[in-house]
Structure 1
């Protein structure tokens, strides 16, 4: 049993490094169905469950301190790529599709929780809030809400399982629909001429090679902003059940990130690489406190995930018919929420490589609002 704090943290970071190395180096289809970040969570949680990690005040304190420092820094780096001025290229239908997708997911969580509430473990509303952050943004939003709401690690594990199983099925379903796009568009009465203009307006940018000065600069800048955000957030008042010091800290960091997105800092390469390093470390630390002894409750959560997606699908189909929206717009709007940066650009590229920037911008929009959409879901569920 490990009791040494440094060994504990070092082992988690090494575990994350090995999993990422194998995932990026392997051509196996395994990682298409079990993303590295989920495998990391399962591995770290398993180490806790079988007793490799002990329990001590020093280890708990180190875990909390590192997570609280890295979380705002990660959010800053994630949002540096989110230039809101690019949203003008998306057009009314794309924005409408994305907005309705967000509201349908929020409604899906509320309705599902209301129906299955009696079968859930305590504090499930917190885990659903975190999952809603992921399904309207991405993994970074999910981790942010876990920190804000202090979601119990065991319940957070159920949310991650839903985020893997239900998400994987949904992604495969959306890719399966692509060959039927013309038939769907005919059924919806949708026209796709605006997509041709989008391909002209949006161009992918290559920010250059990531080097030592870029990585060190981004690390120093993000940690400094994190420190200042934490200080300011700590002196601001708490409001209600979800607005606390961590909420203020995350909000301040997000605002700074959006400001930096319209400055020359946004052109510095390596922001997503550094942000992902922090994300994996945070996930490993969260998972190392989890215990899978209650995993038998997972089936009701997976069923709940499919029920949420069914509500989302029904609303999106109704939207397509009423406003004559094409399948590409619906699919990207949906996956920019539920899949985020990991899959929305891939789906866009599956339609046409020139449309990849559409998926990128839509996913960045999700990373901007995901945390707050998840907190809205948590607030609603806490009152049910």
Structure 2
């Protein structure tokens, strides 16, 4: 039974919109502006809604706001952010973005087994009896989620026959640990210039992409007319509709005719939704539709993105960390291994913080949050997050399955 104070999603959406408006108003107010120099506005947009869930004002799990934001606003947002995609400039970023993404994947694959080894040495009972609710089985679903996303997580649940009790516990660990790490990344993003200067990272390619986007904006920006705004909304939701039609058509085909491709997320409508809408946005970037950037296409897309961010925050309950403390410690060690490996490789190859942050989030958060982190650096960089996240969907199940094999060996041993 839902015991939350507010159960009407219209009220929930109004609260989230009010929070977002308040954060942006405060970020430009002389009294509070200094705070936002150190902590990005995006973090407040993400953290404040979590308090609504934590203190029982809203039940994030019962609310449909996230589902609506992820299925309707996220695809529209991706189309609008990809309209101004400059593929040549992204390729000029070099191989470091891919290296950091793969490093993030490796960190999750080896981080789980390392965390299990450490926790089993300190608290042997965490291994438990091997059965459907064994901890190692539950960890495979977290690996799927942190490398690919929800579809990969569901695939691991089936592949490793994960019991309902440990799956529920691990979903909570997944959400809270991943969200805390995202908060850390957003704080780092707010101080990216200082960090890159200290590490000696080469940010020239990123700066060039950012400057090119800003130069285009300065040369072409104009006040949007009602017609311009209507066209932006039409393209965003029109192509979202086409992507849903495609996903609704393709998914049943693979379910019925190719059951072996379930491991590749081909049985997930959300997978096909994100892939198809990304391809559509990519194609549109070569047409006259890209001119809509001059009248604020990415700004409208970013509004959708911030509503999504607030709805993601609505799923976080920081007090749940005390319900199964040992599992959260396990998840924390796991994420720490991932983070340390990312930071170490970034320092060794002198990769900018942007590559580390987006490479990590393309793994841990997927298509819902990788563009969020990328846009925290600059809206023109959001497509990098989108492209890496799609790569994560394809790689996720293979890497998570391999991680599960290692976890099984450790648990049995």
- Using the size of structure 1 for normalisation, the TM-score is 0.70
The match for 2:197 is 178
Query: 1:180-329 alignment to 2 at 5 Å?
Result: 181=200, 204-206=215-217, 207-211=220-224, 212-236=226-250, 237-238=254-255, 239-241=261-263, 242-243=265-266, 244-269=268-293, 270-296=296-322, 297=325, 301-316=331-346, 320=349, 327=350
- CA–CA distance in 1 between the matches of 2:186 and 2:308? 21
- CA–CA distance in 2 between the matches of 1:217 and 1:170? 32
Tell me the CA shift for residue 266 of structure 1. Answer: 1.3
**Which stretch shows the higher mean deviation, 256-265 or 75-84?**
75-84
Q: 2:246, 2:273 within 8 Å by CA — same for their partners in 1?
A: yes
- Using the size of structure 2 for normalisation, the TM-score is 0.66
Q: Against the structure 1 CA distance between its residues 64 and 172, is the aligned structure 2 distance closer, same or farther, given a 3 Å change threshold?
A: closer
- CA–CA distance in 2 between the matches of 1:12 and 1:258? 30
Tell me the CA shift for residue 125 of structure 1. Answer: 5.7
Q: 1:73, 1:222 within 8 Å by CA — same for their partners in 2?
A: yes
- CA–CA distance in 1 between the matches of 2:312 and 2:151? 9
Tell me the CA shift for residue 171 of structure 1. Answer: 7.1
Tell me the CA shift for residue 261 of structure 1. Answer: 0.9
The structure 1 residue matched to 2:18, chosen from 14, 18, 24, is 14
- CA–CA distance in 2 between the matches of 1:128 and 1:34? 29
The match for 1:160 is 179
Tell me the CA shift for residue 169 of structure 1. Answer: 4.9
The match for 2:56 is 51
Q: Against the structure 1 CA distance between its residues 292 and 266, is the aligned structure 2 distance closer, same or farther, given a 3 Å change threshold?
A: same
- CA–CA distance in 2 between the matches of 1:122 and 1:18? 43
Q: Against the structure 1 CA distance between its residues 86 and 178, is the aligned structure 2 distance closer, same or farther, given a 3 Å change threshold?
A: closer
Q: Against the structure 1 CA distance between its residues 230 and 54, is the aligned structure 2 distance closer, same or farther, given a 3 Å change threshold?
A: same
- CA–CA distance in 1 between the matches of 2:54 and 2:354? 38
Tell me the CA shift for residue 257 of structure 1. Answer: 0.3
Tell me the CA shift for residue 308 of structure 1. Answer: 1.6
- CA–CA distance in 2 between the matches of 1:334 and 1:256? 27
Structure 1 alignment gaps of length 5 or more: 134-144, 186-191, 321-326, 346-358
Q: CA RMSD in A?
A: 3.9
Tell me the CA shift for residue 129 of structure 1. Answer: 5.7
Q: 2:275, 2:390 within 8 Å by CA — same for their partners in 1?
A: no
- CA–CA distance in 2 between the matches of 1:223 and 1:148? 26
